[in-house]
Amino acid sequence: MKAVGVVVEYNPFHNGHHYHIKQSKKKTDADVVVAVMSGHFLQRGEPALVDKWHRARMALLSGVDIVIELPYAFATSKAEQFAKGAIQLLTAMKCETFAFGSEDGNIEPFNNTYSLLHDYRTEYEELIKYFVTKGNSYPKSLFEAYEQLKQKRPQLYIDLSQPNNILGYHYIEAVHKINSSIKPVTIQRIQAGFHDDISLDSTIASATGIRKALFEDGELKRINDYVPNTSFEQLIQWEKSHRQFVHWEAFWPLLRYTISRYLPKDLTQFADVSEGIEFALVKYAKVSNSFTEFMNHIKSKRYTWTRLQRMLTHIFTGVTKEQLHKFDSPTYIRLLGMTGIGQQYLGEKKKEFDLPLISRVAQTKDELLQIDLRTTEIYAQGIQLFSNKKIDGDFQTPPIRI
């Protein structure tokens, strides 16, 4: 059996994801789709809309055969670490191919950019230094250096100012770095851009657009057209059980309390908290009665929204810099769910896997897994604050079978 891997958040699963899966399978002629999915905290520094069990179920009901969890330490890190963890897991699971979405569906520019930056590494670094010394900001210097480097070898290259392209680049880089035999392909994304709102004349919207519609309109039926029916049912079920979808706003009393508990200097133990932002965090947590109010106080040119949210995620979960950055690679394959075909694949290939497959979680000494368990508990307590129900925990929940 041949497997194609995808790297996902499914927050929530929507028609665009469904399309990507179908195309990935077709393009790679795979029998099985393996999704590496983030758990309860996502790469943009946000808690997931619904828990990982509901999101895994959505995926399994719409074409994914196996869902495994990308550990927190990778799922909430910068693109480079995120991509590396995901590619390592797919490689460990013996996926032959790996498919990611891109604007034009052509893998060549990705490969070209990787080779260029790899072959001219020293020159690239010197160019960056040169532009920095000339007084440019670091991002601006990166851009200029890249522009200049491209002249050396005229080919098709990717635009590195696009978030999706940066992630794609890091996938390719990870494949090379870990010497993976996995073959990357890219599937052209249809219609919706990364941050687009949902529109009336389409059934495709970005997850960001869908979340926006959900929170602004507050009505689930508003997004019915943009997600598969099976996903919609999962969302209905969640809303029935837990009253509302998860958003930073709902966790604000806990996050605010946590920030207020620290002396500013002690907040620098968390990833990305430095350069004085710790003083603003403590100062404005006290006076802000909502997450939005807080973010409006602390945002500035210096810090992107994502960077701020990511540092808040780590403060919220209590995962320190030291804990977050100690892992070079995943140490396990955490199975969240599978279809019949997925189960068949696992039966056939499990013995060849490079990492242990964990179906049921028990007390563990694995520090990477401990973080996952801890962050599930924190997410669950956050939900209990507004809903009377606790979500299923890691210890009690067996892998979903569809």
Residues at the interface with a second copy (CB under 8 A)? 253-254, 256-258, 260-263, 286, 317-318, 323, 370, 374, 377-378, 381-382, 384-385
- Chain-centroid distance of CA 281 in Å reads 24
C-alpha torsion 209→212→216→217, nearest 10: 50
10 annotated to a ligand binding site: yes
| Minimum separation from the CB atom of position 176 to a second copy (A) | 35
Q: Are 116 and 101 in contact (CB under 8 A)?
A: no
Per DSSP, helices labelled H in 262-366 are 264-267, 277-287, 291-298, 305-317, 321-324, 340-349
Closest approach of a second copy to the CB of residue 385, in Å? 6
CA distances from residue 355 to 210, 334, 336 in whole angstroms, order as listed = 35, 10, 15
Answer yes or no: is 303 a known binding residue: no
Q: Which is nearer to a second copy, 102 or 317 (CB)?
A: 317
Q: Are 224 and 231 in contact (CB under 8 A)?
A: no
Q: How many CA atoms lie within 13 A of 133 on its CB side?
A: 6
Give CA–CA dist 300/86, Å, rounded: 31
13 is in an annotated binding site: yes
CB 285 → a second copy: shortest distance, Å? 9
Q: Does 189 carry a binding-site annotation?
A: yes
Is 332 marked as a binding-site residue?
A: no
Minimum Å distance from CB 286 to a second copy? 6
Question: Cβ closer to a second copy: 232 or 262?
Answer: 262
Residue with Cβ nearer a second copy (164 or 241): 241
Output 75 or 214, the one with its CB closest to a second copy: 75
Residue in 232, 231, 162, 169 with CA at minimum distance from that of residue 193: 162
Structural contact between residues 82 and 74, judged by C-beta atoms closer than 8 angstroms: yes
Report the residue number, 105 or 253, with the smaller CB distance to a second copy: 253
66 carries a ligand binding annotation: no
Q: Is 352 annotated as a binding residue?
A: no
Q: How far is the CB of 318 from a second copy (least distance, A)?
A: 3
CB of 88 to a second copy, least distance (A): 24
Rounded to 10 deg, the angle between the 277-287 and 305-317 helix axes is 70
Three-state SS for 133? helix
**Least gap, CB of 262 to a second copy (angstroms):** 6
Specify the residue, 260 or 300, whose C-beta has the smaller distance to a second copy: 260
Q: How many CB atoms are closer than 10 A to CB 289?
A: 10
Q: Is 7 annotated as a binding residue?
A: yes
DSSP states of 205-262? --HHHHHHHHHHH--GGGGGGGS-HHHHHHHHHHHHHHSS---HHHHHHHHHHHHHHS
Give me the least distance between CB of 316 and a second copy, in Å please.
8
Burial 131-151 (b: 16+ CB within 10 A, else e): bbeeebeeeebbbbbbeebee
- Closer to a second copy by CB, 200 or 362: give it: 362
Exposure of 229 by Cβ count < 10 A (0-12 exposed, 13-18 middle, 19+ buried)? exposed
Q: Is 398 annotated as a binding residue?
A: no
CB of 253 to a second copy, least distance (A): 6
Question: Does 12 belong to an annotated binding site?
Answer: yes
In terms of CB distance, is 43 or 258 closer to a second copy? 258
Nearer to a second copy, 254 or 355 (CB): 254
- H/E segment holding residue 57: helix 52-60
Residue 314 annotated as part of some ligand binding site = no
Residue that the structure tokens 């689930």 belong to: 220
Instruction: Name the binding residues.
Output: 7-20, 101, 164, 189-190
Instruction: Name the binding residues for ATP.
Output: 7-20, 101, 164, 189-190
